[in-house]
């Protein structure tokens, strides 16, 4: 599976160099046609670009604009400059939502990636067995269903009478049982568990497919050198799936930062704002408090945060190419 | 390959545990859905008297027929158009490469990491001013736009790999751009197109935020959005809620099981490219 | 080498494109091009005739789920006025609260269950009912029934035009399970707060969860016991002054701090279930109905339901005063319904609201299904209520509160966002032990000032 090349144009260069045998006239004809194609080409991009500009770039620009106003969405607005940003900087609730999103990265991203790597490495050898084929179907289920449904299922599982506590009691851990989503110290990790559950299958299968492409002789060599499973993992497996790791981290980190569906369904940001995330806070500010300017300022900061985190990860992955 | 028996056993055990963890939440949902309506069943316990009628009740209570139809309409509005215009743009940017193609592509790429929440507030007012609030268009139109970065990138990545010779040969034979596209490139891009189609289908079906914000009436929402409304209204009745959730996620499971192979590879490629 | 275009140029073109887009959108401030306010844009057949006419009318209604009152009234109304039908959408109250502003503005219903009305009215989202009040003679009803729904030009409640109506007016207090009460030897409702404390402890010792309450998600149900305690410690009218945004009113008064600390003691003594911070309203109801809890701080809107599900087994009392015979208070509020300023059939909706308060059949439904006292003139028809029902007890308690002048608007209704964004998180912190009684009120007061100051 290849990363889309974004800059190289190898096919093209070959095409230009190749017609060394053809005549000058033909070359000129091609160039003329190319110019015409240029216009055709631009024309073909227009519908996509129009949709993109209308429903992404324009709202994006408007978000920036709104963030400088105090507006309730109904009556007319007042210019407040950087006022909304200043309020954001000193508001523990909004800042807290950003901190929560960062913490969610641990559960939505690090946990499934680490667990996925571990299990994939263990299962690697069974990759062709029937069990592994079945698992491809089963482990994908959480990816297929709406996140809302995942939220509903897990809200029930994590309730005080839910299965999680039932199991804990059965194994003698009755003392730690609680309403996981209703305790300010466990609610965010509990939401994290839901996210990890959704992402684990995808991560694992991603790594597994990467690992099946590793040349078996590398492992044979490692074994002959006397490497145990642990050293083998770090010396052979891990470096070979570096690109897949980068991809998995990117995808899951974005899903952590942009978490909305699961939180909306399971905790609505509570208790005591302990699971409030920027996506939800933007929704509350924009449509509930109707503080459109403040919602937009948070959205702008949120967007920059996502870029600041995702771009470096992307760069690291790209270097692998 | 040297594989010890212990390693095989460990691997199998791990796989089984993983699958259990994946499946048990679904089982809980199912078992809870069979309990008498209005009760709060504890944990995973088979009810003495399974209430299969909950599924029927949930179906009628949620007006599931209308919800399904609405989701289908939204899919019809989103997926073909997105595929079409993304293919055209991808063909142009990846193959024809008109002047400025790189700048255009870069502008699309900018939107790739954009969370929908970043634009949801202005989108609401934009839809309101267009008079489309609370109609399916309020979901369809923005989704097409929001899918553009990914869809264009996906199709461009496909067309970039198409050898130039193919087109040169066709052109020398006198084929125009349209013929070149429809006769040669389109048939070759069917696999890329169908994978993209599957992803778009899934994302649209499961789209929640836009549905919740832009459309009040659950009967004009996507399936996931309708489920949100269902929770809002029936969250007071857990077995019924569970039955409704199952009904709502069943179509995705069916589509998934039918197109399994393509699904898995589409999702994996989707992850890799996104 | 025609294609060594270099990335600077690419970047320039890209940023130019973005910049021009920004310029295109940034020329006008948001909100200037859209309709000015809500009033005036109503494309209604404003004939001034407050009736439903004779032609077929479909009233769109947005109501709270889980309460059969509105459905029962709609059904009866259609029976009496066959040309009127209802197109009903239901959501939980928390969802309605979140949706209210944008639904009223952009998808206007004819009838809608409303949260606190001050900001909605100030933004021109609600239909002014003064004309209807005059036509139907609502002005002659006891003024206290309507004052919570009057909003002046500054967005303060208590005076000004009428922006909503009640389907009935409800009252809160404490429900108790008679069987469990017998079990721990509580023969009659506690007469003082100290007695209540003692009963709570006895229930706790007997292994019963003393109080069923909800405090999860976006709705902190601990505001119910808190406000009850506030009324015992202090003066209900001062609490109302705060809720109605009277200048200078504060919530963190010494009396209220004592009340909050009392609630904190209840939490610390374990009088609530461990998982209250994850319980929603319906789970609280289910636990009380299953007989798992002795008390529940709730309102008389459940009286009808409790009479049906636990007939003869439930009692009701007001949160007791500090000393016997002292000041009592209760939250008492109309079950508020409003009409969007942009509604299609405001006159017919207003006619319906009047019918609810004045039709004998409707008043019977308001009591039997709703459990609360109907709106309307003081001497209007009242249906018979069985003596051993909770409904009878809540109606009687309502009379007591009326005499004692102890009715209060819900503190959670002081501003549009104060419940979800301040009371709820802070009450949840109180339960989690991250906030004490005094800190709770200080935090809420700060949020309140910030919100009103805007």
Q: Residue C1 domain-assigned? A: no
Q: What is the mean pLDDT of chain C?
A: 85
**pLDDT tens for residues C111-125?**
999 877 888 888 888
User: What pLDDT, on the 0 to 100 scale, is given for residue A287?
Assistant: 85
Instruction: Write out pLDDT tens, residues C257-273.
Output: 999 999 999 999 999 99
- Structural domain harbouring C398: 170-332+393-453
Question: Do the chains contact at C21 and A53, CB–CB below 8 Å?
Answer: yes
Query: What pLDDT sits at residue C273?
Result: 92
| Range of lowest pLDDT (A4-18, B46-60, C282-296) | A4-18
- Do C299 and C441 lie in one domain? The reply is yes
User: Which range in A72-81, A88-97, B47-56, B260-269 is most confidently predicted, on average pLDDT?
Assistant: A88-97
Please indicate, yes or no, whether residues C94 and C195 belong to a single structural domain of this protein: no
Domains and CATH numbers, chain B: 66-226+259-273 (1.10.3720.10)
User: In this structure, are residues C61 and C88 in contact, taking their beta carbons and an 8 Å threshold?
Assistant: yes
The answer, yes or no, to whether residue B257 has pLDDT greater than 70, is yes
What pLDDT, in 10s, does the model give residues B78-87?
A: 999 999 999 9
Nearest by CB to residue B43, choosing from A126, A162, A216, is: A162
C98 with A288: Cβ contact below 8 A: yes
Structure tokens at A162: 């839910």
Residues C312 and C412 both lie in one domain: yes
Chain A residues in contact with chain C using a Cβ-Cβ cutoff of 8 Å = 9, 12, 53, 57-58, 61-62, 64-66, 69-77, 79, 93, 159-160, 178-185, 267-273, 284, 287-290, 292
- Determine, for residues B117 and A63 on separate chains, whether the beta-carbon distance falls below 8 Å: no
Which range, of A96-110, B248-262, C201-215, averages the lowest pLDDT?
Answer: B248-262
Q: Are residues C199 and C75 part of one domain?
A: no
Residue C122 lies in a domain: yes
For residues C298 and C318, state if they share a domain: yes
More confident residue, A124 or B209: B209
- Confidence (pLDDT) at C82: 93
Phi, psi of A226 (to 5 degrees): 85, 20
Res B146 pLDDT > 60: yes
Is the Cβ pair C91, B233 closer than 8 Å? yes
C103 touches chain A (CB under 8 A): no
- Kindly determine whether residue A75 and residue C31, on different chains, have CB atoms separated by under 8 Å: yes
Predicted local distance difference test score (pLDDT) of residue B170: 84
Give the model's pLDDT for residue B258.
84
C321 within a domain of the structure (yes/no):
yes
CA-atom Rg of chain B in angstroms: 23
Both tokens of residue C236?
């209900």
Residues C42-62 have pLDDT tens digits of 434 445 688 888 889 999 999
Whether omega before A271 lies within 30 degrees of 0, making that bond cis, reads: yes
**Which residues of chain A are within 8 Å of residue B118 when distances are taken between CB atoms?**
60, 63, 282, 299-300, 302-303, 306
- Residue C342: phi and psi, rounded to 5, are -110, 20
CB contact under 8 A, B107 and C102: no
CB pairs under 8 A between B and C: 55
Q: How confident is the model at residue A186 (pLDDT cuts 50, 70, 90)?
A: very high
Q: If you measure CA to CA, which chain C residue comes closest to A158?
A: C278
Inter-residue contact B146 to B120 (CB < 8 Å): no
Q: Where residue A72 falls among pLDDT bands split at 50, 70, 90?
A: confident
State percent of chain C over pLDDT 90: 49
d(CA C77, CA C83): 10
- Using the predicted structure, report yes or no on whether residue A208 has a pLDDT greater than 50: yes
What pLDDT sits at residue A86? 95
Would C380 be classed as within a structural domain? no
* Nearest chain A alpha carbon to B88: A44
Is the pLDDT score of A130 beyond 80? yes
The verdict on C253 and C398 lying in the same domain is: yes
Measured CA to CA, the distance from residue B34 to residue B37 in angstroms comes to 8
pLDDT at B1: 46
Q: Label residue B147 by pLDDT band (50, 70, 90).
A: very high
Q: What is the per-residue pLDDT for C46?
A: 47
The token pair that represents A267 in the structure block: 């905790």
Look at residue A21 in the predicted model and tell me its pLDDT.
Answer: 52
Domain boundaries, chain A: 22-79, 89-319
% of residues, chain C, pLDDT over 70: 90
| Residue C207 and residue C261 in one domain | yes
Return the higher-pLDDT residue of A114 and B168. A114
Report residue C4's pLDDT band, with 50, 70 and 90 as the boundaries.
very low
Residue C421 sits at the chain A interface (C-beta within 8 Å): yes
Q: Does B103 touch chain C (CB under 8 A)?
A: yes
Q: Report the candidate in C238, C217, C225, C226 with the shortest Cα–Cα distance to residue C406.
A: C238
Q: What is the mean pLDDT of residues C328-349?
A: 91
> Could you tell me the CATH number of the domain that includes residue C120?
3.40.190.10
A66 → chain B, closest CA residue: B122
Examine the pLDDT at C186 and tell me if it is beyond 50: yes
Neighbouring chains of A at 3+ CB pairs under 8 Å are B, C
CATH of the domain spanning A89-319: 1.10.3720.10
pLDDT at B209: 92
C425 touches chain A (CB under 8 A): yes
User: Looking at the partner chain, which of C33, C91, C102 has a beta carbon nearest the beta carbon of B232?
Assistant: C91
Question: Do C320 and C348 sit in the same domain of this protein?
Answer: no
Q: How far is B49 from chain C (nearest CA, A)?
A: 19
Band (C218; pLDDT cuts 50, 70, 90): confident
Strands C407-408 and C330-338 come out as: parallel
Nearest-by-Cβ selection for B233 from C17, C34, C65? C65
User: Inter-chain contact C417–A268, Cβ cutoff 8 Å?
Assistant: no
Give the minimum alpha-carbon distance from C289 to chain B in angstroms, rounded to a whole number.
Answer: 11
Q: What's the gap in Å between the CA of A123 and the closest CA on chain C?
A: 38
Tokens read off for C27: 């020329």
Q: What is the DSSP annotation of B37-96?
A: TT----SS---SS--THHHHHHHHHTTHHHHHHHHHHHHHHHHHHHHHHHHHHHHIIIII
CA distance B268 to chain A (A): 6
Percent of chain A with pLDDT over 90: 43
* C373 occurs within a structural domain: no
Q: Which chains touch B (3 or more CB pairs under 8 A)?
A: A, C
Residues C164 and C186 in one domain: no
Which range has the worst mean pLDDT, A101-105, B28-32, B79-83?
Answer: B28-32
Closest CA in chain C for residue A74? C37
Q: How far is CA C94 from the centre of its chain?
A: 10
Residues C128 and C222 in one domain: no
Q: Tally the domains of chain C.
A: 2
C278-288 pLDDT, tens digit each: 888 888 988 89
A286 contact residues in C (CB cutoff 8 A):
none
């Amino acid at each position: 599976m290849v990363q889309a090349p974004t800059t190289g144009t190898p096919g093209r260069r070959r095409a230009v160099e190749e017609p060394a045998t053809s005549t000058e006239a033909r070359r000129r004809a091609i160039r003329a046609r190319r110019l015409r194609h240029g216009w055709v080409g631009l024309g073909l991009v227009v519908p996509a670009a129009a949709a993109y500009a209308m429903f992404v770039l324009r709202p994006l620009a408007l978000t920036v604009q709104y963030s400088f106003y105090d507006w309730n969405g109904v009556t007319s607005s007042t210019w407040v400059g950087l006022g909304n940003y200043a309020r954001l900087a000193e508001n523990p609730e909004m800042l807290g939502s950003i901190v929560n999103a960062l913490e969610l990265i641990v559960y939505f991203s690090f946990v499934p990636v680490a667990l996925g790597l571990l299990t994939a490495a263990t299962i690697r050898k069974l990759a062709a067995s029937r069990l592994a084929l079945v698992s491809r179907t089963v482990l994908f289920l959480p990816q297929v269903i709406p996140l809302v449904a995942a939220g509903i299922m897990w809200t029930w599982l994590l309730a005080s009478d839910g299965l999680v506590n039932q199991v804990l009691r059965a194994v003698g851990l009755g003392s730690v049982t609680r309403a996981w989503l209703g305790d300010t110290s466990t609610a965010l990790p509990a939401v994290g568990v839901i996210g990890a559950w959704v992402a684990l299958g995808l991560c694992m299968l991603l790594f597994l497919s990467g690992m099946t492409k590793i040349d078996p002789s590398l492992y044979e060599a490692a074994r002959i050198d006397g490497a145990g499973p642990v050293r083998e993992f770090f010396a052979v497996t891990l470096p070979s799936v570096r690109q897949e790791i980068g991809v998995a981290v990117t995808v899951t980190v974005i899903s952590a930062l942009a978490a909305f569906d699961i939180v909306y369904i399971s905790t609505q940001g509570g208790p005591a704002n302990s699971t409030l995330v920027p996506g939800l806070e933007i929704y509350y500010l924009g449509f509930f408090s109707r503080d459109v300017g403040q919602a937009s300022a948070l959205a702008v900061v949120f967007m920059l945060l996502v870029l600041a985190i995702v771009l470096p990860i992307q760069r690291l992955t790209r270097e692998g190419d | 390959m040297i594989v010890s028996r212990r390693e095989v056993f460990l691997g199998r055990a791990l796989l089984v545990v993983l699958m259990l963890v994946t499946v048990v939440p679904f089982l809980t949902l199912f078992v809870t859905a069979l309990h008498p309506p209005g009760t709060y069943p504890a944990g995973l316990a088979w009810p003495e008297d399974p209430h299969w009628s909950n599924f029927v009740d949930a179906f009628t209570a949620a007006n599931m027929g209308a919800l399904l139809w609405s989701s289908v309409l939204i899919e019809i509005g989103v997926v073909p158009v997105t595929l079409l215009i993304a293919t055209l743009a991808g063909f142009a940017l990846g193959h024809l490469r008109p002047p400025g193609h790189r700048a255009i592509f870069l502008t699309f790429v900018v939107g790739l990491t954009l969370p929908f929440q970043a634009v949801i507030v202005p989108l609401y007012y934009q839809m309101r001013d267009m008079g489309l609030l609370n109609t399916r268009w309020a979901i369809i139109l923005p989704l097409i736009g929001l899918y553009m970065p990914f869809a264009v990138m996906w199709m461009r990545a496909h067309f970039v790999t198409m050898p130039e010779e193919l087109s040169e040969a066709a052109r020398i034979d006198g084929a125009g751009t349209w013929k070149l596209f429809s006769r040669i490139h389109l048939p070759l891009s069917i696999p890329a197109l169908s994978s993209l189609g599957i992803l778009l289908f899934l994302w649209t079906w499961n789209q929640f935020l836009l549905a919740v914000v832009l459309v009040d009436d659950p009967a004009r929402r996507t399936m996931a959005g309708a489920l949100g409304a269902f929770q809002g209204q029936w969250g007071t009745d857990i077995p019924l809620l569970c039955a409704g959730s199952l009904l709502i996620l069943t179509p995705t499971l069916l589509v998934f099981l039918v197109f399994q192979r393509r699904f898995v590879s589409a999702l994996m490629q989707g992850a890799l490219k996104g | 080498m025609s294609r060594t275009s270099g990335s600077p140029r690419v970047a320039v073109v890209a940023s130019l494109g973005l910049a021009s887009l920004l310029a295109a959108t940034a020329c006008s401030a948001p909100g200037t091009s859209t309709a000015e306010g809500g009033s005036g844009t109503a494309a209604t057949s404003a004939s001034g005739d407050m009736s439903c006419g004779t032609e077929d009318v479909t009233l769109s209604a947005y109501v709270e789920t889980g309460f059969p009152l509105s459905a029962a009234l709609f059904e009866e109304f259609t029976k009496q006025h066959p040309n009127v039908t209802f197109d009903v959408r239901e959501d939980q109250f928390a969802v309605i609260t979140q949706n209210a502003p944008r639904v009223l503005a952009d998808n206007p219903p004819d009838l809608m269950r409303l949260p606190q009305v001050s900001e909605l009215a100030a933004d021109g989202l609600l239909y002014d009912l003064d004309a209807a009040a005059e036509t139907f003679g609502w002005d002659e009803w006891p003024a206290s029934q309507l004052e919570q729904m009057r909003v002046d030009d500054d967005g303060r409640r208590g005076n000004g035009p009428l922006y909503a109506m009640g389907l009935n007016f409800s009252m809160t207090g404490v429900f108790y399970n008679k069987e469990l009460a017998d079990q721990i030897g509580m023969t009659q409702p506690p007469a003082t707060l100290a007695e209540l404390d003692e009963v709570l402890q006895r229930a706790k010792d007997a292994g019963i969860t003393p109080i069923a309450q909800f405090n999860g998600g976006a709705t902190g149900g601990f505001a119910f016991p808190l406000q009850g305690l506030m009324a015992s410690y202090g003066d209900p009218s001062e609490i109302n002054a705060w809720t109605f945004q009277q200048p200078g009113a504060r919530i963190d008064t010494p009396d209220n701090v004592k009340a909050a600390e009392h609630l904190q003691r209840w939490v610390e003594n374990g009088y609530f279930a461990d998982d209250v911070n994850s319980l929603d309203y319906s789970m609280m109801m289910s636990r009380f109905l299953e007989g798992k809890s002795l008390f529940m701080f709730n309102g008389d809107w459940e009286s009808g339901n409790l009479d049906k599900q636990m007939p003869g087994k439930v009692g009701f009392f007001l949160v007791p005063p500090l000393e016997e015979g002292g000041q009592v208070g209760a939250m008492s509020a109309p079950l508020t319904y409003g009409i969007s300023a942009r509604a299609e059939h405001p006159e017919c909706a207003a006619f319906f609201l009047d019918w609810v308060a004045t039709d004998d059949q409707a008043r019977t439904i308001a009591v039997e299904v709703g459990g609360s006292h109907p709106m309307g003139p003081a001497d209007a028809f009242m249906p018979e209520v069985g003596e051993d029902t909770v409904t009878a007890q809540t109606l009687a308690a309502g009379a007591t509160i009326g005499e004692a002048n102890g009715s209060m608007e819900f503190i959670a209704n002081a501003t549009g966002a104060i419940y979800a964004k301040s009371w709820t998180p802070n009450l949840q912190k109180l339960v989690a032990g991250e906030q004490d009684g005094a800190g709770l009120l200080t935090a809420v007061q700060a949020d309140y000032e910030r919100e009103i100051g805007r």
